[in-house]
Amino acid sequence: MKEGGEDRLEHATYQPGDYGRMIRPDGTEQWWVRFPQGPWVALRHQRVVPNEDGSITLLSVEK
pLDDT at position 60: 67
Cα 37 from chain centroid (whole Å): 14
Domain housing 17: 2-62
pLDDT at position 63: 53
Predicted TM-score (pTM) of the model is: 0.62
pLDDT at position 12: 79
Nearest CA to 33 out of 22, 44, 20, 23 is that of: 20
Is residue 58 a contact partner of residue 9, using CB atoms and an 8 Å limit?
Answer: yes
Counting the structural domains of the chain, the total is 1
Indicate the DSSP class of residue 55: -
29-34 and 19-23 strand pairing: antiparallel
In angstroms, rounded to a whole number, what is the distance separating the alpha carbons of residues 62 and 8? 5
pLDDT in tens, 5-50: 455 555 678 889 888 999 999 998 888 888 888 889 888 766 788 8
